Amino acid sequence: MADQERHTFAWTDLLWLVFLGGLALMDPIREVHKQEILLAIGLFQIFEHRLLAWVPSRGRFYSVIIKILLATLLLEHTGGPAGGINSSYYLIYFLPVMTAAMLFDVTGTLIWTALTSAAYCSLLIPALSEYELTPEGAKELVLRNLFFFLAAMVVNPFVSENRRQAQRYRRLAEELAETNRRLEQAQEEARRSERLAALGQLTAGLAHEIRNPLAVIKGSAETLTRRLQSADPLTTELAGYISSEVNRLNTIVTRFLNFARPLKLEKRPTQIPPLLDRALKVAGERWPEAKVEVIEQYAENLPEMKVDPDLCEQAFANLVLNAFEAMTAAGGRLTVRVAPANSEGRRGVEVDIEDTGPGIPPELHEQIFNPFFTTKKEGVGLGLSLVSKIVDDHRGWIRISSEPGKGTCFRVFLPAE
């Protein structure tokens, strides 16, 4: 597309040079200044777009003014003994008139056309010192000026309509891009929900199959412990290890079952800030050694949300605990924001939990919500999956924005019923 635009612009330049070159070839010997002025007009017309780009606020004003001055200068050098008012090149004034019609609205076009007519009529002043203005000459002068206005009023509506269409297409393109972005987010959330559902069913089956052998192993280990209390201490210790590890595995299996089991939401009107305060308290007790500065930014007059307070508190606690753990080594700042929000026509609240930790690589943004995916040395990778499930069951969404070395922000939207 860029190559095509450059090609079109080059052909436009060539046409300008051809047309103005044709004017310059008329009496090339006697009218040297005319050629220089036409060259200046051609060069300015070719590079006008750069002026408009360099000075976007005032460039269009400068463009029309410079063209009026160059047109007036051309007429002064081509008017002959009667002066510039008698020059056959008066049609060059259509250039600033057309430029104004393309760059301004109706009012601006009329003002600039009037100034162009004034510049043309000003050439009459020196001519009147030696010549008399006849009725026919006055009529011709009025006709020429009226044609300036007529041309401006013919061109301006077409250009204005084209400008409106371009703005409309630009808005449609922006809306389409926003719609595509939302569609991609919806598809990502749908894929995540499908993965969660499939892995949840698999987890439930595996957990049930694992729990029965664990019960047998634990019972056997406890029996061995009771019978070997007076036997070899090492054997007793090893039997104790079996029992404790079975308990740990049983805890993990319970987490799997809790994740796979459909959540039963017990919704009731709830204020969100107290849930976040309790989540922050839990994280502070869990990571007392973490040097984390907590900043709370809660909007005023937040509406009560009909949510399951226990599950939402669990989701917030998981996010806050992850943030504290990420900043335990070097410390940092945790910012918690709550504000009313609108998402795709739905009213609700947005909760931002933003840390200044090491961040998460972009290629992991979609995977971190998958069950059993974790980058920690310890853990089973169910924390964020459970958060996503809780938010999905509330018909909200959770999104992540993170940059390695600069921190991570989890944004949760909970819709109002």
Strand (E) or helix (H) holding 396: none
Q: How far apart are CA 313 and CA 387, in angstroms?
A: 10
Tens of pLDDT along 83-142? Answer: 678 888 888 899 999 999 989 989 999 999 999 999 999 988 888 877 788 888 889 899
Tens of pLDDT along 278-329? Answer: 999 988 888 888 888 999 999 988 989 999 999 999 999 999 999 998 888 7
pLDDT of residue 343: 84
User: Quick one: average pLDDT of 68-76?
Assistant: 89
Q: Which domains does the chain have, with CATH numbers?
A: 2-133 (no CATH), 193-260 (1.10.287), 268-415 (3.30.565.10)
Closest by Cα among 247, 330, 340, 336 to 283: 336
| More confident site: 185 or 303 | 303
Contact 151, 94 (CB under 8 A): yes
> Which tokens hold the place of 87?
């020059």
pLDDT of residue 230: 57
Interstrand relation of 332-343 and 305-307 (parallel, antiparallel or unpaired): unpaired
- Torsion angle in degrees (nearest 10) through CA of 266, 269, 273, 276: 0
pLDDT of residue 6: 41
- Counting residues of the chain whose pLDDT is more than 70, the rounded percentage is 81
The distance of Cα 323 from the centroid of its chain, to the nearest Å, equals: 26
Q: Residue 350: pLDDT above 90?
A: yes
pLDDT of residue 7: 41
Contact 90, 120 (CB under 8 A): yes
Tens of pLDDT along 221-236? Answer: 777 767 766 566 766 6
Instruction: Establish how many alpha carbons lie within 13 A of residue 19's alpha carbon, considering only the half-sphere containing its beta carbon.
Output: 13
pLDDT of residue 69: 93
Q: CB within 8 A of 27, min separation 6: which ones?
A: 34
Closest by Cα among 228, 227, 221 to 250: 221
User: Quick one: average pLDDT of 57-81?
Assistant: 87
Which residue type sits at 415? P
Count CB-CB contacts under 10 A for residue 69: 12
Tens of pLDDT along 2-52? Answer: 343 444 445 666 666 677 777 666 665 455 577 788 888 888 888 888 888
Instruction: Establish how many alpha carbons lie within 13 A of residue 127's alpha carbon, considering only the half-sphere containing its beta carbon.
Output: 21
User: Quick one: average pLDDT of 141-163?
Assistant: 90
- Collect contacts of 44-53 with beta carbons under 8 A, ≥24 apart: 44/70, 45/16, 45/95, 46/13, 46/16
| More confident site: 398 or 251 | 398
* DSSP code string of 307-376: E-HHHHHHHHHHHHHHHHHHTTTT-EEEEEEEEEEEETTEEEEEEEEEE-SS---GGGTTTTTSTT---S
pLDDT of residue 216: 76
pTM of the model: 0.49
Q: How far is CA 190 from CA 79, 213, 228, 256, 258, in A?
A: 76, 35, 55, 21, 21
| Confidence label for 79 from pLDDT (cuts 50, 70 and 90) | confident
